[in-house]
């Protein structure tokens, strides 16, 4: 499991931004720079550049805001004990972006271009990488159709923007999850878009999460849309079920986001001697588990304290 070094030499911790690092939470803090790279339809991305962080101008006919032609990634830069800055498995994000771009008929940056853009963004904003133990720099590469189209066809122009903000974990403490029985996150099976990190996969969870949060739950667990019997994913993270020495997680079958933390946890659990299964996991099985936990870049690894289904825990 590789950590990419971003800084050549130790970064002076004294040069961190002058903010209260104990209060950063998970919300956007404007940092100094973002990276922008453009590409016409049918071309390859070439050189991008760093520009001051700020609003972006967009054509109202752009396909991302009309037809949802957009995908994003999330990855983190951390400070090491000696002050270096490292990235967690950025090549995995680059590959996942390529997969999503193919599905949405967009050109994508090469693996090297993606990693270079992320590194440049992290370095240009190095004073925003939290001191060791205070969180991480969350980096968000967003690939979008920025060319104008009224017809439902791929845009004539694309933009990759990479921006960042310092964060701590997404949720505070263990999760009490509500199982959603009315709405679904993605259609089951391989033909949908649940398995790519598209912008269109996130707003559809708002109705369920808003209602659940109003009832005191931390988040919502979605079931598969075909049978309504198997667990799929929480609004912004993958889920694992532990029983004795075996760990199960829903297989990445096209409806589940193939999370990079998910993949890393599977590798670590196998190394530790657990039996790990990627397969359909029924809600019943989850309710009978010894332990449940969630994984994601934003969430990291978070334990689940309770799961409630139609008021039954
Ligand atoms: C991530 O974990 O990086 C995510 O994309 C979750 C985000 C939607 C908050």
Q: Whose CA is nearest to atom 6 of ligand 1?
A: 236
Distance 237 CA to ligand 1 centre (A): 7
Atom of ligand 1 nearest to the CA of 297: 2
- C-alpha distances in Å from residue 260, one per residue of 1, 37, 87, 193, 238: 11, 24, 13, 17, 10
Q: What is the pTM of this model?
A: 0.94
Atom of ligand 1 nearest to the CA of 236: 6
**pLDDT given for residue 123 in this prediction:** 96
Q: What is the pLDDT of residues 39-60, one digit of tens each?
A: 999 999 998 999 999 999 999 9
**pLDDT given for residue 7 in this prediction:** 67
**pLDDT given for residue 263 in this prediction:** 98
Q: Is the CB of 90 under 6 A from ligand 1?
A: no
Q: What is the pLDDT of residues 81-117, one digit of tens each?
A: 988 999 999 999 999 999 999 999 999 999 999 999 9
Distance 302 CA to ligand 1 centre (A): 14
Q: Is the CB of 74 under 6 A from ligand 1?
A: yes
Helix (H, G, I), strand (E, B) or coil at 112: helix
In the set 98, 119, 178, 197, the catalytic residue is: 197
Q: Is the CB of 93 under 6 A from ligand 1?
A: no
**Is 126 noted as a catalytic residue in this protein?**
no
Q: Distance (Å, rounded) from C-alpha 112 to C-alpha 108?
A: 11
Q: Across the beta sheet with 246-249, what order do the strands follow? A: 231-234, 219-223, 175-179, 300-308, 291-296, 238-243, 246-249, 275-278
Atom of ligand 1 nearest to the CA of 299: 2
**pLDDT given for residue 313 in this prediction:** 59
Distance 259 CA to ligand 1 centre (A): 10
- C-alpha distances in Å from residue 270, one per residue of 150, 267, 277: 49, 5, 10
- Residue 14 pLDDT class (50, 70, 90 cuts): low
Q: Whose CA is nearest to atom 7 of ligand 1?
A: 236
How large is the average pLDDT for residues 162-184?
96
**pLDDT given for residue 8 in this prediction:** 53
Distance 257 CA to ligand 1 centre (A): 11
Q: What is the pLDDT of residues 221-254, one digit of tens each?
A: 999 999 999 999 999 999 999 999 999 999 999 9
Q: Whose CA is nearest to atom 8 of ligand 1?
A: 236
ipTM summary value: 0.95
Q: In this structure, what are the phi and psi dihedrals at residue 101, rounded to the nearest 5 degrees?
A: -65, -40
How large is the average pLDDT for residues 163-175?
95
Shortest CA distance to 149 belongs to which of 38, 59, 45? 59
Contact predicate 38/106, CB 8 Å: no
């Amino acid at each position: 499991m590789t950590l990419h070094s971003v800084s050549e030499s130790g970064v002076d911790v004294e040069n961190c931004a002058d903010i209260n690092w104990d209060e950063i939470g998970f919300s956007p803090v404007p940092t100094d720079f973002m990276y922008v790279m453009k590409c016409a339809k049918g071309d390859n991305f070439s050189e991008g550049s760093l520009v001051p962080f700020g609003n972006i101008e967009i054509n109202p006919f752009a396909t991302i805001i009309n037809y949802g032609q957009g995908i994003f990634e999330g990855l983190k830069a951390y400070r090491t004990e000696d002050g270096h800055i490292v990235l967690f498995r950025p090549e995995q994000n680059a590959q996942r972006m390529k997969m999503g771009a193919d599905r949405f008929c967009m050109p994508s940056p090469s693996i090297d271009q993606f990693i270079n853009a992320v590194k440049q963004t992290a370095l240009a904003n190095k004073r925003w990488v939290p001191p060791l133990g205070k969180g991480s720099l969350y980096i968000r590469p967003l690939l979008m159709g920025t060319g104008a189209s009224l017809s439902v066809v791929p845009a004539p122009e694309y933009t990759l923007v990479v921006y960042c903000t310092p964060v701590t974990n997404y949720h505070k403490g263990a999760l009490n999850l509500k199982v959603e029985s009315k709405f679904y996150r993605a259609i089951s099976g391989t033909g949908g878009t649940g398995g790519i990190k598209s912008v269109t996969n996130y707003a559809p969870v708002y109705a369920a999460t808003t209602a659940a949060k109003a009832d005191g739950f931390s988040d919502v667990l979605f079931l598969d849309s075909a049978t309504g019997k198997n667990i799929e994913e929480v609004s912004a993270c993958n889920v694992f079920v532990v029983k004795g020495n075996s760990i199960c997680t829903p297989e990445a079958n096209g409806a589940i986001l193939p999370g990079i933390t998910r993949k890393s946890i599977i590798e670590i659990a196998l190394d530790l001697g657990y039996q790990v299964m990627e397969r359909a996991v029924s809600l019943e099985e989850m309710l009978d588990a010894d332990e449940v936990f969630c994984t994601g870049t934003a969430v990291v690894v978070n334990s689940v304290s309770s799961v409630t289904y139609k008021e039954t825990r």
